[in-house]
Amino acid sequence: MKRQIIIDTYFKGMLPDNTKTCHISYTKQAEPLDTFDAFGCTFLVLNVIRTTLEKAVDLYSRQEGFPPKGALIDFWKLLYSGEFPGKRIVYVHFFTRLPNETKVEGET
């Protein structure tokens, strides 16, 4: 199913070359095998896991596009009024870019 996942423009250059391969959010925005479009590319959701924000940052900051995890914490605080609730539940959406013209079974 085609979904809408909003990716901040900060990541525009990271998505086409698969530098950013996951998205952390407070809400579950997709299921595995769903697709979404961002910055002229189509992406396939590979997996979605539920965990704490603290654990997501520890384990997946590089896949989020932030090699040092401290940079992801700073970015999160910028987006959410200085808050970083480490124990709060988040969803990590893992994805990969699809080559142009790739069709996913069930998509039209």
CATH of the domain at 82: 3.10.400.10
- Say if 81 falls within a structural domain: yes
Mean pLDDT of 37-65: 96
Alpha carbons 72 and 70: distance in angstroms, whole number: 5
* Residue range of the domain that includes 51: 2-97
Indicate the range of 45-49, 69-73, 103-107 predicted with least confidence: 103-107
Whether residue 104 is contained in a domain is answered as no
The token pair at 11 is 């990541």
One-letter amino acid for residue 44 of the chain: L
Q: Residue 103: pLDDT above 60? A: no
Q: What is the pTM of this model?
A: 0.88
Is residue 102 in some structural domain? no
Using the predicted structure, report yes or no on whether residue 105 has a pLDDT greater than 70. Answer: no
Number of domains into which the chain is organized: 1
Q: Specify if 103 maps to a domain.
A: no
For residue 18, being part of any structural domain is answered with: yes
Rounded distance, CA 68 to CA 22, Å?
15
Residue 4 has what pLDDT?
94
Tokens 């697709």 -> residue: 35
Q: Per the domain annotation, does 27 fall within a domain? A: yes
Contact between residue 93 and residue 38 where contact means Cβ atoms under 8 Å apart: no
6 part of a folded domain: yes
3-41 pLDDT, tens digit per residue, is: 999 998 989 888 888 889 999 999 999 999 999 999 999
* pLDDT tens track for 59-93: 999 999 998 889 999 999 999 999 999 999 999 99
Whole-number pLDDT of residue 101: 57
